Amino acid sequence: MSSSVFLLVGVLAALARVAQQIHSPDVETRLNYLIDDWMIQGLSSKTFRQKCAWYNGRSFVRCTFQDQRDGTIGETIFGYSEAQKRYTYYRFDSKGRSLHNLGFPSGRYGMVFTDERLEPEGLARVQTTVNLEDEGLRYTQYKSVQGRVWQRTADFLYVPAVQRRPVRKRRR
């Protein structure tokens, strides 16, 4: 009797988790890859650091960052809009700058975001890609101003800022 009660409680708990799941498994998996304490490969963690965690109920991924190269702090928020069927990327920083990009899946584990905005040199189209790699997250960005040739404006690898120790097996 007690084993069937435990089984029933376990099944009910699993069903409750599924009922509360906000995103589809594919969306949640892609967003989950962003969760970590990141630095940019080749830079000190004191120069650039970005910490990403799930927001309430796994609804969004909220990242806070500090970039000593230009003295900014800020936030990026990644999510998925069920209404628009698109990934979302917001960025706000301490210099008053903000971005809002819509995106879609890219490859097996990535996301690509697009934007069109007015810049000092003219109307620019921007494409930003975040792809999971073995070492971390590859961030690339391309820009075309006034329909001219696309230029790569960013290409770096986010790597974990804190190296995790390998799990040791317990000796018996």
Q: What tens digit of pLDDT does each residue of 49-92 get? A: 999 999 998 999 999 999 999 999 999 999 999 999 999 999 99
The angle formed by the CA atoms of residues 141, 147 and 152, to the nearest 5 degrees, is 20
pLDDT of residue 164: 66
**In whole angstroms, what is the distance from residue 41 CA to residue 81 CA?**
31
Read off the pLDDT band of 154 (50, 70, 90).
very high
Q: Count Cβ atoms within 10 A of the Cβ of residue 45 and give its class: 0-12 exposed, 13-18 middle, 19 or more buried.
A: middle
Enter the DSSP assignment of 11.
Answer: H
Superfamily of domain 22-160: Calycin beta-barrel core domain (2.40.128.20)
Taking a C-beta distance cutoff of 8 angstroms, is the pair 65, 74 a contact?
Answer: yes
Rounded to two decimals, what is the model's pTM? 0.80
